[in-house]
Every structure is written in C-alpha cells, then in structure tokens.
Amino acid sequence: MLQGEIRKQGWVYKESALLRQYRKRWLVLTPERLYTFKKERIYDAPTEEVDLRQCGTVKSADDVTNRPFSFTVQVPERNFFLVAMSDAERNEWVAAIGRATTESRRVRSYSEEVEYQEQQARLAALNRNKPAAPPPPQDVDVVPQRRPATFT
C-alpha cells in the first residue's frame, strides 16, 4: 500500500536486480517512498519499495547504462537504474526524487527533535517529582565527646 500523497507517477523502465533486464514499471513517488508496480494505478503489490530517507544520490546514469534518459537512485543496499521516456521526463524524476529525499530527511530530523524535546520534558517532570535525597548516613561508631566535669 502507498504511504502518503502521490507527488509524481509515470512509466519508466527499471533494471531487474538479478537478470539485469529492463522491464516496464509504473513508478510512484510519495513524500517518503518510491514504489514500482507492474500495472498503472494499481497500488496493491509494489515490485519495489525504496525508503527515501535512505536515499544517497539521484542522478543521470546515461554513461553507466549506455541508455539515453536513464537515471539512478542509490540506497545503501542497491543502486536502482531507471530509464524515463524522454530527457525532460528524466530531469523531472531526478528533481522530484531529490526534493522528496531532502524533505523526508528534514521531516525525520524535525520529528526526532520533537521526540527529544518530549523525552527531556518527561525527565524533568520525573526529577521534579522525585523525593529529595536522604541525608548521608551518620557514622554510628563515633563516640560523642565528653565534657570535662566541673565541680562547684
């Protein structure tokens, strides 16, 4: 299932991971994910799902693939090679995925900051409600000093 609003969608060719063959796929970009599907506008079973927060680079890849209008989406576990239908389409995909990648990182950083602030507030509340530390224990072996006896 898709997570988030659709930012861009359209047909591309995607290189398969095992056979290195290009297959036509419906590519869908949401604010935090990139999906591929076998059929247009049928979003029930993606063939690929990329978390854009993990995306490193999105750039033209004509020189690597020897195919015009190609681009790559690099994530830690794999480089996805895609081919758009035109140079303009490729440029639109690269720009849109790049923007979504930057935004997804910003959202994550903001949410992490919110979580940190909430955690700090919880810790401060716990410290306010914590009883004061007990006084240090007295040394019971200490004998009180005697005063000299005075006779009158």
Q: How far apart are CA 40 and CA 60, in angstroms?
A: 24
pLDDT for residue 113 is more than 70: no
- DSSP bridge partners of 96: none
CA 130, chain centre distance (Å): 36
The answer to whether 50 touches 31, Cβ cutoff 8 Å, is no
Average pLDDT over residues 2-28: 92
Q: Which CATH class is domain 8-108?
A: mainly beta
Q: Band of the pLDDT at 142, cuts 50, 70, 90?
A: low
pLDDT in tens, 68-81: 999 999 999 899 99
Question: What is the residue-averaged pLDDT of the chain?
Answer: 85
**What backbone torsions phi and psi does residue 51 show, to the nearest 5 degrees?**
-80, 115
- DSSP bridge partners of 115: none
